[in-house]
Structure 1
Amino acid sequence: MRIRARVRADNPVLLDLWHRSVRATHDFLNEDDIAQLLPQVRDLYLDAVDVWVYEDTDGRLLGFIGLSGAQVEMLFLDPRWRGQGIGTRLLDHARELRGALTVDVNEQNPRAHGFYRRYGFADVGRSPTDGQGRPFPLIHMALRGAD
């Protein structure tokens, strides 16, 4: 198992992984929300951030993290592999690269919020809407003890 930089040829697999992960974890989104987000992820977000993928020994991509500076913009795992330490390994890799990390978590996604808290992030703020002004509140988090 290894973490490596995304190559453009990974994008279709990452988009499928994102789609399956969102359906498994973002039950506050309806089908229209997901349908609107999918082309944005495909056409904009994957290329707008630095993406690192978690690859198993057979070359299957099991998760990925997207960074903009020290901000974790996306962290998605194959739903079948949740709870196996992949998210933690991806965050560890991001910390090695960028040091102090921040992340925004959907308030309606308590599992993700709990995951980041267990990792060591603390709540530092809240926004009533997401970055696109939709009614999905965000919890702003920063790694505790990070300079």
Structure 2
Amino acid sequence: MHEDEPSSGRMPVDLRPTRGPVEYDDLVEVWRQAVVATHAFLTPEDIEDYRVRLGEQWLPAVELHVAVDADDRPVGFLGMDGHRVEMLFVADRGRGRGVGTRLIEWAASRHPVLELDVNEQNPGALAFYESRGFRVVGRSPLDGEGRPFPLLHMRRNEQG
């Protein structure tokens, strides 16, 4: 797959499965850039704790697909568990350039129904998912680690 619209501000990317643990450091850096830019509610200590868990526990637990630039450098990634989007993060250089949309549309092409959770304190992510056909179907007052970061549960049917 290749997205090829540089004139529209879109970043041309290829999507591929992850190369596994040898690539995790690069994916953690993509994650770090995205979290610093979009998760102002997290403290530096929270970010460090999640960073360690990401590389050791969470990346190995999902099916990972990576958006890479022309030099095969990761610019974004998607982690799936069946029809659930467990994680989607885009590096600074790819944000707002169609990378996240490419990853979501790739997932939607394989699963007629997609579900995900988004932090309530991340209005940019909420708007991103809503503009791509996701609707809020529930809320939890705590995140998956039991911390006070409310989650919105979202769902997208094949009609979008």
Same fold (TM over 0.5): yes
The alignment yields a C-alpha RMSD, in angstroms, of 1.4
In structure 2, what residue type is equivalent to 1:123? V
Q: State the Cα distance separating 1:97 from its structure 2 match.
A: 2.1
TM-score by length of 2: 0.88
Tell me what 1:58 maps to. 71
Tell me what 1:6 maps to. 18
Where 2:155 maps in the other structure, the secondary structure is: strand
Asked if the contact 1:122/1:144 (under 8 Å) is kept, the reply is: no
Tell me what 1:100 maps to. 113
Where 1:135 maps in the other structure, the secondary structure is: coil
The runs of 5 or more residues in structure 2 that have no matched partner are: 1-12
TM-score by length of 1: 0.95
In structure 2, what residue type is equivalent to 1:82? R
**Can you list the C-alpha shifts for 1:24-62, whole angstroms capped at 9, x where unaligned?**
110000011011111100101110000100011111111
Paired with 2:33 and 2:158, the residues of 1 have a C-alpha distance of 34
Q: 1:96 to 1:144 in 2, by over 3 A?
A: closer
**Can you list the C-alpha shifts for 1:64-121, whole angstroms capped at 9, x where unaligned?**
0000111111000012211111101000111122221001000000000000000000
In structure 2, what residue type is equivalent to 1:79? D
The runs of 5 or more residues in structure 1 that have no matched partner are: none
Which of 128, 138, 160 pairs up with 1:125?
A: 138
Residues 1:48 and 2:61 are matched in the alignment: yes
Calculate percent identity across the aligned residue pairs. 44
Consecutive aligned runs of 4 or more in structure 1 exceeding 3 Å deviation: none
Where 1:64 maps in the other structure, the secondary structure is: strand
In structure 1, what residue type is equivalent to 2:99? I
Tell me what 1:80 maps to. 93
Paired with 1:145 and 1:86, the residues of 2 have a C-alpha distance of 20
